[in-house]
Amino acid sequence: IYKCHLCGFCLPESMACPACGKKAVKNFGFGTEKIETLLKTMFPDARLARMDQDSTARKGSALALLKSIRNRTVDLIVGTQMLAKGHDFPAITLVGVICADLSMNLPDFRAGERTFQLLAQVSGRAGRGDVPGTVIMQTYNPDHFTIEAARRQDVTAFYNREIPFRKALKYPPFTRMILVKVSGLKKDAVAQAAMDAAAILTQIKEASPETAAEVDILGPIEAPIPRISSRFRWQLVIKSPSFHQISALVQALQNHPDMNRNRAISLGIDVDPYSLM
């Protein structure tokens, strides 16, 4: 069975295409367990460890795994992002990154920044001891400036390409931003509440010429991750060079009587959000 860890949606392994009914469905992508299985086939004598959310769920398992890596009792390590951050493994001399550009496709203006950060961090795991390290990145976009800058570990090159994009589209650091998150148990009610919030914000904004000129309201739209557990999610973004303007706008939204009638709807405010997911 296939199960989404976020929303709980399930599909049988023998699923058919919902459009044509054919069962010739091909799996795409590589999870840590699949990579682990392939490596066991390719290197049957190697000592292999896997570090991800499932393998470290038991108390103490993560520390035991890190200890085995430092003691060099494993030869190959398969892991998610948790393996890339904040660890010092002097004996690691080769790092491979599967689908290195996958995170660049996320609907978030910081997607390139986070991709660069992650690749720079994971690349730093190789060659921390006396032996030089090698990093191999699998990518569909080898010429993209994010991948190229990460390959060269060139922070300045990435900044010089990223900052004009941020400025042209009025994204931070050139503006301040507030993410308004609407969630609830009923899909239609959440969508309607998000639309009501957008209408209220627009009405308040248009009432002030100064605010209307400086503030942009984006949305509402269904969140990129539309459901987590049993809660449906919508969102909208407010941005402006003036934090005072958007702060006053959001405060007026929170105090508006129409936004406090339905207690089944939650209104979340994220100031200067790091993620729009």
**Domains of the chain (ranges, CATH numbers):** 29-168 (3.40.50.300), 176-271 (3.30.70.600)
Q: Give the per-residue pLDDT at 86.
A: 66
DSSP annotation of 129: S
Q: Give the per-residue pLDDT at 89.
A: 76
Average pLDDT, the chain: 89
HEC assignment per residue over 110-126? CHHHHHHHHHHHHHCCC
> Is 48 within 8 Å of 74 (Cβ atoms)?
yes
Average pLDDT over residues 172-188: 97
Q: Which is nearest to 242 in space by CA: 178, 197, 198?
A: 178
For residue range 121-156, list pLDDT tens digits in order: 887 777 666 777 888 999 999 999 999 999 988 999
157 class by beta-carbon count within 10 Å (0-12 exposed, 13-18 middle, 19+ buried) = middle
> Is 197 within 8 Å of 236 (Cβ atoms)?
yes
DSSP annotation of 89: -
Average pLDDT over residues 205-233: 92
H-run or E-run covering 77: strand 76-79
Report the SS3 class of residue 158. Answer: helix
For residue range 17-76, list pLDDT tens digits in order: 878 888 877 776 678 888 999 999 999 999 998 988 888 878 888 888 888 888 889 999
Residue 91 has pLDDT above 80, yes or no: no
- 243-255 and 187-206 are packed helices; what angle lies between their axes, rounded to 10 degrees? 130
Alpha carbon dihedral 160, 164, 165, 166, in 10-degree steps, equals: 100
Alpha carbon dihedral 207, 212, 216, 221, in 10-degree steps, equals: 30
242 class by beta-carbon count within 10 Å (0-12 exposed, 13-18 middle, 19+ buried) = middle
Q: Give the per-residue pLDDT at 129.
A: 64
| Euclidean distance between CA atoms 113 and 213, whole angstroms | 29
Q: What are phi and psi of 29, to 5 degrees?
A: 100, 170
H-run or E-run covering 62: helix 61-70
